[in-house]
Structure 1
């Protein structure tokens, strides 16, 4: 783990990872750091394959913010702290990246038709699917959470009817939920616990499936 001050600076640097070209001066303004510290952060990013340097400018691609977030997490940054700096698209990509790291075949924004439904992230492993609805909200009321669960169960039933999988588990991934819990048999998983959930997924499929209302 890198020193705390440097780690905090690295997390702050995520704010400045914007697609296109940016100078050190503009990066320091975007991240509210000194130009010296901005240079250090950018050097760290470049050394880890995030961005490219050309003509005194650093050029970032669309997925570089996610790569910067994953770098910070790998160095010890809190997942929920990093997630606050991501847009909802980044949040979905982070969830998909975690599933892929646990050997799930993963797709994002899966569309079902008649009626049209969209699933944020689908991961399939050993014939069993986990269908994730990502909720990048600051706060979730109980009624909002209950509504999200009902809709995700509906999506999962439709997915099961159309796709060739043995079983499918609906799940909600949130940013601020403190601990994993079940609502109507659906796991509500804070993003910082998604990796451990995926690690234990195969050994608990029967339990998850028996609790769900799919």
Structure 2
């Protein structure tokens, strides 16, 4: 069943309609069997030709993950859906999230994929939907840029009153990827695959000495380079 769902996700990117014959060939089953799977999980009769909206695609992806096809599902999603999937994981771990925050600091424009807060913790996430394996050297530019965004982000949030009592807030920069990175922390930024995200969120705490948390006032006083 999961192979039918994954092939459906692959072939309905960009608004393409469901083609049971193509899906069945790729999933090595019959068109009739593929339709039965899709009818069950989409809750509709004969979805042949149907264009799936983002909600339907996400529901299909969730079912395939439940069936054990996480990595295949994530590769079948668009980068926007990958961000949404990461945000959903954060929500399930009781984090409040903001996605796609765009702001200016002086003349420079910045964008942060996801900000997630829970109690004293503020995770600043950059989602990388990279298809190739995650060698450490691949991350250097992304890590540098992500760290540089923290100061402007905190200033933006302070000005708009989005930090509350920021004296007690601990920030953690995180890069989320498709594949498991070779290292878990690189130059003060956490690297994790989305498959590792659930376990990471369950145990994350600013009192873990292995995690490079930064007290928010220190970010403003000593900008990170």
Q: Sort the TM-score into its range (normalised by shorter chain).
A: 0.7 to 0.9
Is the CA contact (8 Å cut-off) linking 1:160 and 1:167 kept in structure 2? Answer: no
- Of the candidates 159, 168, 172, which is equivalent to residue 169 of structure 1? 172
Residue number among 97, 107, 115 corresponding to 1:122 in the alignment: 115
Equivalence for 2:160: none
Pair 1:134-2:140 in alignment: no
Which residue of 94, 109, 122 maps to 2:85?
Answer: 94
For residues 47 and 206 of structure 2, the distance between their equivalents in structure 1, rounded to whole angstroms, comes to 52
Aligned mate of 1:69, from 61, 72, 77? 61
Question: Gapped runs of 5+ residues in structure 2?
Answer: 158-162
Instruction: Give 1:37's match in structure 2, choosing from 16, 33, 37.
Output: 33
Deviation at 1:16, TM superposition (A): 3.9
Give yes or no for contact 2:170–2:214 (8 Å, CA) kept in 1.
no
Deviates more, 1:175-184 or 1:99-108: 175-184
Tell me, in whole angstroms, the C-alpha distance in 1 between the residues paired with 2:177 and 2:85: 12
* Cα separation, 2, equivalents of 1:203 and 1:75: 33
Residues 47-66 of structure 1 correspond to what in structure 2 (within 5 A)? 47=43, 52-53=44-45, 58-66=50-58
Q: C-alpha distance in 2, partners of 1:190/1:22?
A: 30
TM normalised by structure 1 equals 0.80
Structure 1: runs of 5+ lacking an equivalent:
1-5
Task: State the Cα deviation string for residues 37-78 of structure 1 (Å, max 9, x = none).
Answer: 22122122224xxxx55897645212322221121112222x
Residues 138, 69 of structure 1: alpha-carbon distance in 2 compared, 3 angstrom cutoff: same
Count of residue pairs brought into register by the alignment: 202
Higher deviation after alignment, 170-179 or 83-92: 170-179
1:197 alignment partner in structure 2: 200
- CA-based RMSD of the aligned residues comes to 2.8
Aligned residue for 1:171, secondary structure, equals: strand
Residues 97, 117 of structure 2: 8 Å contact kept:
yes
TM-score, normalised relative to structure 2: 0.76
Distance 1:190 1:56 in 2: 34
* Aligned counterparts of 1:202 and 1:182: Cα–Cα separation in 2: 15
Moved more, 160-169 or 121-130: 160-169
The CA deviation string for residues 149-171 of structure 1, in whole angstroms up to 9 with x for no partner, is 01111112222223214122111
Determine which of 119, 139, 151 is the counterpart of 1:157: 151
